[in-house]
Amino acid sequence: MRKFAIFIAKIIGYLFYDEKYLKGKWFEKTPNGDGWIFVLKCFLWQKIFRINGKVPFPVNQNIRISNYKKLHFHPDDLNNFQGFGVYFQNFMADIYIGRGTYIAPNVGLITANHNPKNPDLHLKGENIVIGEKCWIGMNAVILPGVKLGDNTVVAAGAVVTKSFEEGNCIVGGVPAKLIKKIDE
């Protein structure tokens, strides 16, 4: 039954998704076909019910992506779009996610805030850049202009308002502060 499901998922995948996202470890290196099963699960919500319908890669129905064209990641990290509740608010600036980074559920990546003088308006958007092999803990929020260096761990519930470009560290709190350096 699983082999038949994977066969159907491959047909659906190549018909409805951009082929560049159907490569890498989730499709070529997992013997049980996890990537293809994910395609099958996402198809109904994305292409029939149109939740994230224009997004050219499989996305869980509980994730929100403002502008997929401004979201940059490696196909090996498609797992970041399988979880629950991540919010990619990037309609005014880009989000760059380094290879090997993990994003936990309910994380918010926000590239533009509301104008405090007039909440109907947004301030100018600023890119978010997350380095390679980072780990963003559950319920963390990363605000406009933040740059995280490679191997940065963001503690669960942290609100990251400034950059930690040096990487190799753990940050946490509200607002996030350096908790500990990680030996390279």
114 is catalytic: yes
142/125 Cα distance (integer angstroms): 13
Please state whether the peptide bond connecting residue 175 to the residue before it is cis, i.e. omega within 30 degrees of 0.
Answer: yes
Q: Which of 72, 74, 114, 122 is catalytic?
A: 114
Determine which helix (DSSP H) or strand (DSSP E) holds 71, and give its type and residue range.
Answer: strand 71-72
Tally of CB atoms within 10 A around 59 = 25
CA distance 71 to 41: 22
SS3 state of residue 56: coil
Buried b or exposed e, range 13-47, using 16+ CB within 10 angstroms: beeebeeebbebebbeeeeebbbbbbbbebbebbb
Known catalytic residues are 114
